[in-house]
Amino acid sequence: MRPLALFAALLLLAGTAAAAGPSMDRPLADRPGDPARGRSVVRDLSKATCLICHAMPIPEEPDHGDVGPPLAGVGARLTPGEIRQRIVDPTTANPATVMPAYFRTEGLDRVGAPFRGRTIYTAQEVEDVVAFLATLTGE
């Protein structure tokens, strides 16, 4: 019975690991992310603002989208590594997602001319947005 129990425990562990979304644990920039800057980056209309699709706890912002889930509480649901992975390339979590990849240039279709060969965010902007989202642990 013993080895079987061990096997079951291992299976359970593997199951837990698979349930978490893909994660990118290494920061992309040397400077740590700045949540206050991230809060303004997510609203930047020149960079495919997250607010087109997500409601965010930014009360002074009049328009919030509902294509994606509300991001209040996302810092409690996902680890910083999982948030980073979503922003860099959300197709790793959902190949059919409508969410843009903010830090990937390969394998994209329908990229507007000004963005071709460029990422939407810089590495530092990704880190700032990860830092901001990580602070969203409340409702």
Please check whether residue 67 is in contact with residue 55, taking contact to mean a CB–CB distance below 8 angstroms: no
Total of chain residues touching ligand HEC, rule CB under 6 A: 25
- Residue 103 CA to residue 35 CA, distance in Å, equals 18
Q: Does 48 bind ligand HEC (CB under 6 A)?
A: yes
| Residue of 39, 90, 103, 131 that binds ligand HEC (CB under 6 A) | 90
| Residue of 24, 83, 88, 131 that binds ligand HEC (CB under 6 A) | 83
Q: Does 33 bind ligand HEC (CB under 6 A)?
A: no
CB of 96 to ligand HEC, least distance (A): 7
At a CB cut-off of 8 Å and minimum separation 6, what does 100 contact? 48, 90, 120
Q: Does 88 bind ligand HEC (CB under 6 A)?
A: no
- Residue 130 CA to residue 124 CA, distance in Å, equals 10
